[in-house]
Amino acid sequence: MQSKNKAVALTRRQFVAAGVLGGAALAVGCKSGNQGNWDFLSDGQARTLAAICDQIVPADEFPSASQAGVLTYIDRQLFRHYRRHRDVYREGLEHANELSRKRFAKDLAEATPAQQLEIVSALEKEERPFFDLVRRHTMEGYYGSPRHGGNRDAVSWRMLGLDEPPVRGRAQYDMRKGATS
């Protein structure tokens, strides 16, 4: 009985320590310590990723990937369903920046569109797993359901000529004379 009590009884020092720890946990509990605008990405990573995504789906008379919210999509999923891809993203984005710095002496986000295209083409050849992942996720974000943060206002569906939401009624209130069903 006594030993059991010992196990739960805390000294005053322990009590304070626990409080401090708890407070610290609360403080860092906010999104893996990330205080920026994103769930997972740092602001720098987000800028690099935007440069890549906007080469995959660039702006024309319709918005680019990042304009349509693809970054929001990828960021949310890296915090949720795509946790398992975090390392590939971290390393891939770092590598993309390194490549850009080596060739153009600046970060990818600051490079010209032509330079960005060159880097993304290089990634397609040299960093296939990372590139394939970003390409797939960019397409999902751009052409998938708006609820996940991408395809803002269903812009890609409208681009394809699809009504969103579709105008679609049912049979039961049909008022046409002699309607069959």
Question: Out of 3, 5, 13, 105, which residue is the one contacting other proteins (CB under 8 A)?
Answer: 5
* Cβ contacts of 40 within 8 Å, gap of 6 or more: 31, 32, 34, 75, 78, 79, 86
Q: How far is the CB of 21 from other proteins (least distance, A)?
A: 14
Residues near other proteins (CB under 8 A), total: 64
Rounded-to-10 torsion of CA 115, 102, 141, 44: -120
* Contacts (CB under 8 A) with other proteins, residues 23-82: 26, 29-31, 36-38, 55-58, 60, 62, 76-77, 79-81
Residue among 60 and 87 whose Cβ is closer to other proteins:
60
Using an 8 Å Cβ cutoff, are 101 and 89 in contact? no
Residue among 105 and 169 whose Cβ is closer to other proteins:
169
Site mask, other proteins, residues 98-117, x = CB under 8 A? -------------------x
Using an 8 Å Cβ cutoff, are 177 and 167 in contact? no
Distances (CA, A) of 108 to 134, 175, 177: 15, 60, 65
Q: Could you tell me the two tokens for 21?
A: 């720890």
Q: Which stretch binds other proteins (CB under 8 A): 86-94, 95-103, 105-113, 151-159?
A: 151-159
Q: Helix, strand or coil for residue 140?
A: helix
Q: Which residues bind other proteins (CB under 8 A)?
A: 1, 5, 8-10, 15, 19, 26, 29-31, 36-38, 55-58, 60, 62, 76-77, 79-81, 117, 124, 135-136, 138-140, 143-149, 153-154, 156-176, 179, 181
